[in-house]
């Protein structure tokens, strides 16, 4: 069982819908990440939050809106998505102590998103 929990596991939505993906961790990690993974490809970084503040946005379209309400929760709000946005969306977290780049990430099992 993963220590990073993502809901829902599967989501099908139309291009005009609004939905949200949720991620929760209780490991005390202070860095949280959203990745997008297309079939047979490695994960691509979308956003990084550090101490509940957005620190990296990898030029992600505004139809994806991240939110970090507290240190345990990370949301990704979706609106007016396109069919090419269909993918596995992964959340990850890592500790925030010492050398940040040496802290491994812990991943959830992802939300498989399909846009009709």
Partner 1 sequence: TQLLEQSPQFLSIQEGENLTVYCNSSSVFSSLQWYRQEPGEGPVLLVTVVTGGEVKKLKRLTFQFGDARKDSSLHITAAQPGDTGLYLCAGAHQGTYKYIFGTGTRLKVLA
Residue 15 CB, shortest distance to partner 1, in Å, is 25
Within the chain, how many helices (H) and strands (E) appear?
0, 11
> 74 CB contacts (<8 Å, ≥6 apart)?
22, 23, 24, 32, 34, 49, 66, 67, 68, 91, 93
For 106, counting Cβ atoms within 10 Å of its Cβ (0-12 exposed, 13-18 middle, 19+ buried), the class is: middle
Residue 42 CB, shortest distance to partner 1, in Å, is 4
64 makes contact with partner 1 (CB under 8 A)? no
Site string for partner 1, 16-35 (x = CB under 8 A): ---------------x-x--
Site string for partner 1, 66-95 (x = CB under 8 A): ------------------------x-x-x-
- Is residue 45 within 8 A of residue 33, CB to CB? The reply is yes
Among residues 28, 57, 100, 114, the one that binds partner 1 under rule CB under 8 A: 100
Q: Which residues are near partner 1 by CB under 8 A?
A: 2, 4, 6, 31, 33, 40-45, 48, 50, 55-56, 90, 92, 94, 99-102, 104-110, 112
């Amino acid at each position: 069982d993963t220590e990073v929990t993502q809901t829902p596991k599967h989501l099908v939505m139309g291009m005009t819908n609004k939905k949200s993906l949720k991620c929760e961790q209780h490991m005390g990690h202070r860095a949280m990440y959203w990745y997008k993974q297309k079939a047979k490809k490695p994960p691509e970084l979308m956003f990084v939050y550090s101490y509940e503040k957005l620190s990296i946005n990898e030029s992600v379209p505004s139809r994806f809106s991240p939110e970090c309400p507290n240190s345990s929760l990370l949301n990704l709000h979706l609106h007016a998505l396109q069919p090419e946005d269909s993918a596995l969306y992964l959340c990850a977290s890592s500790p925030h102590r010492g050398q940040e780049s040496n802290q491994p990430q812990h991943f959830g099992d992802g939300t498989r998103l399909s846009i009709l």
